[in-house]
Chains A and B, each alone.
Chain A
Amino acid sequence: MLSRRSSDVIVVGAGVVGAACAYYASRAGLSVTVVDRGPVAGGTTGAGEGNLLVSDKEHGPELDLALLSTGLWQELAELLPPQIEFEPKGGLVVAADETAMRALRDFAAGQRTAGVRADEIPADRLRELEPHLTPGLAGGFHYPQDAQVMPALAAAHLLRAGGDRVCLRLGEEVTGLLTTADGAVRGVRTAVGEVSAPYVVNAAGTWGGDFARLAGVALPVLPRRGFVLVTEPLPRVVRRKVYAADYVADVASGSAALQTSAVVEGTAAGPVLIGASRERVGFDRTLSTEVLRRLAAQATALFPVLAGVRAMRTYVGFRPYLPDHLPAIGPDPRVPGLLHACGHEGAGIGLAPATGLLIARSLSGAEPPLDPGPFHPARFDAEAAV
């Protein structure tokens, strides 16, 4: 069945980044069709913890994007319903020893120059902030600008907030990019029919490389697997997002091997979420008891009160990883009318609004809120194998 519909822009992917693109585009007066082969938040968004962090990013373009995005999340939190569970709770990074503490100090100094607020917390004050933290840590840094949200609900409500300008086509797989005779975008072909629009945004997350391939260009997105442990419902035992200093090194690492570091946070609903693991094993969803053992051991080492608490479930997600740890955001010079908005690794939830705004500004020809240069989608062409 052929269906011809016309929008100003098609967004491929109904996760949090696609939702943000659709929202800000609609706010700029554009009509948007969001297409996804699955449901809302069917990919990595549904497996995310909901981190909105500036604390784990070093001075540089990703941090600038995160600072912008954090401010946008605060605006969105006032606009969207409370069901999205936005909590401006702050983050606490802890160091096990003096070496790690020194590294944190240097890191924070760099971040401060970008406008991040980072307060050093000496060892003897850590438990004022987090009473259940293990004694014997060397100290930590408090980042008041860190926040948390429930990712799937945030994506769903962002899509709704676009109102009549946003049309959702779920359960519809994009099978090809439609171009004019001179190679400019004119729409997409799906399993159900064709959707026409002069602009298409690749917000397909961990499958952004696959979609790029459909469009005839290379974008080397790889899956980086992570497990999360979910505990039984608890009262508030962890006030902020708390993580060990080695988390930052893991995020920045290019290694494919398993890396784990303790990340613990409570949720409004009650369970505590425990992460974080990173490894490149393709899309293998098989349970790894070794990963879970490490996550549980690290979390209970940080918060001994958790030893007697039960994990009710675990889930797995695949972060979209690009080789230089920066997302691909903006128009693709190789295909006029194609834009990319993917490859955010583990920071997609936090960076979604800024990404959406960048895309919307690009689509409407308006001034970008910051320099999009570092996120240029074709920057891998020199090294990429097609």
Chain B
Amino acid sequence: MPASVSDPYDLAVLGAGAAGLAGAVTAAELGLSVALLDAAPQTGGQFYRHPAPAFGAVRPEALHHDWAAFAELRRRLERSDIRRLSGHHVWAVTKEDGDLWAVHAVTGPDGTGEQAVRVRARTILLATGAYERQLPFPGWTVPGVVGAGGAQAMLKSGLVLPGKRIVVAGSGPLLLAVASSLAAAGAQVPAVIEASGYLGYARHPGALAANPRKLVEAAVHGAALLRHRVRLRTRSAVTEVHGTDRVAAVTVTRLDRDWRPVRGTGRRIACDALAVGHGLVPQIELATALGCATRRTADGTSALALNAHQETSVCGLWAAGETGGVGGAPLARTEGELAGLAAAARLHGRPADEGRVRALRRRRDRMRAFADAMAAGHAPAAGWTDWLTDDTEVCRCEEVTAGTLREAVSDLGARDARTVKLLTRAGMGWCQGRMCGTAAACLAAGDGAAEPPAERRPFAVPVPLSALASSDDSTGGRPDAVPPVDD
């Protein structure tokens, strides 16, 4: 703990998922004063999302792989004197005089609390995870259509399903995990529809040789899917949802190698829900606002460019986990630990334990390589926009159709994502382009190659004007507005 409420912390960790927990406990165990901020009441981020204690769930690990690793991190957290700030939604990080960072947050379960919080720290670890990438299609706004990761998140924390007969679709290794979770929880899952030709672990056990844990995961998923009679269809996509106020069925169409729908191959599947997603997008707006360099990932998103020690291009700002490129929980834990070691080394003015660092880097590099190989197989190909009709809503928040976006390009001279947004309002709504950013960038690119969205959002979360207006002298040293629920 800092000596007084106005002293800065040595390290502020943003995000209490796998990477943030690992970074925080590593740094704290090396003697740093650490503040750990997260929007949720519980730790675990998205990967280790679990029901609140009030549920009395005795087998939370039934919905998780590698629960033991998380439980261990939680134990270390409890034994530390890390200052936990749950229910804190960070909207910006700024540099202050004297080389300190200021972390600006709003509070409450959904960030609507009146209290404005500013936490000062000498170093920052950004472990803000990722959100799900979406590619719009006709009918995707009908109730019953939910994110694939979203369905899993609601299941993990709320123990609920969006329907009884759920088609899982989109692209990426997450789909199999989602399908097996939903099926294990009692849903019928008639099919998993994968747009690429590659179904990850289930089809290419050879790629898993260097990553034995993944082999186990694959076997578990594969077996579960067989047992629940889930059909896997590659090179296909849901190109239409039927039903006006509720999903009644979907049409699945074959795709060519360019993800263009092949005419005449549409087949209907009756269902009452659709769980859809196309991989994950690193959540990096807090860093891009500070000018951190980014890199393009193998599946076409933007991730933070990090050096061997997990530091961003901005001195004193480290990142770990999905923010550096999506790669799963074990990679996140490894990177979090590396970042914690690096921050401590910087502040102590002496290098970290070489052997420990070397082992971690070896593990990280191996897992990163695997993650990149996986990602490359699922990058969306340019032809997907063919399945958009002119009246398909692309921007859900502002209800902007594909036709409007296409017109901005063809008639109004928009040639880049920012101008398309300016001329159509796509991306100007509540979610600030998270759901439609990829699609808008693809439509703006026309026949050219789409740039990954820049992920620039000066406010990471909407901020009540009263919170902005307050002189926010608080440094987060007082008791939480939302007490930690858990763990």
Contacts and interface: CB of A to CB of B under 8 A. Distances in A.
Please tell me whether chains A and B touch each other in their complex, using a CB distance cut-off of 8 A: yes
Interface string A86-111: 00000000000000000000000000
Contacts of A313: 428, 432, 457-459
Interface of B: 92, 94, 102, 104, 112, 289, 291, 398, 411-416, 418-419, 422-423, 425, 428-430, 432, 457-459, 462-466, 468-472
A205 interface: no
A20 interface: no
A292 to B, nearest CB: 5
A312 B432 contact: yes
A311 B468 contact: yes
A315 B422 contact: no
Given A153-B423, A287-B94, A232 B411 contact: no
Nearest to B468: A296
Interface residues of A, number: 43
A207 B286 CA distance: 29
B77 to A, nearest CB: 30
Given A153-B423, A232-B430, A311 B415 contact: no
A309 B413 contact: no
Given A42-B419, A170-B413, A297-B469, 11 more contacts: A46-B418, A46-B422, A229-B465, A232-B462, A269-B425, A286-B291, A300-B465, A311-B463, A311-B468, A313-B432, A315-B458
17 contacts: A39-B415, A39-B419, A152-B422, A153-B423, A156-B412, A231-B465, A286-B94, A295-B468, A296-B465, A297-B469, A300-B465, A307-B466, A307-B469, A310-B463, A311-B459, A311-B463, A315-B458
Contacts of B432: 312-313
A160 B425 CA distance: 19
If over half of B's interface residues share one DSSP class (helix, strand or loop), that class is named, otherwise mixed; here it is: loop
Interface in A253-297: 269, 271, 274, 286-287, 289, 292-293, 295-297
A360 to B, nearest CB: 21
A245 B104 CA distance: 31
Contacts of B465: 229, 231, 274, 296, 299-300, 306-311
Contact of B289 (A269, A287, A307, A315): A287
A314 interface: yes
B462 A289 contact: no
A312 B430 contact: yes
Contacts of A153: 412, 423
A157 interface: yes
Nearest to A301: B469
B469 A39 contact: no
A159 interface: yes
Given A160-B412, A170-B413, A307 B464 contact: yes
B415 A289 contact: no
B459 A312 contact: yes
A274 B468 CA distance: 12
Nearest to A42: B419
Contacts of A289: 92, 94, 102, 104
Contacts of B414: 39-40, 156
Most buried by B among A42, A46, A311: A311
A171 interface: yes
A156 B425 contact: no
B120 to A, nearest CB: 13
B419 A159 contact: no
A293 B413 contact: no
A153 to B, nearest CB: 6
Most buried by A among B412, B416, B419, B457: B412
A212 interface: no
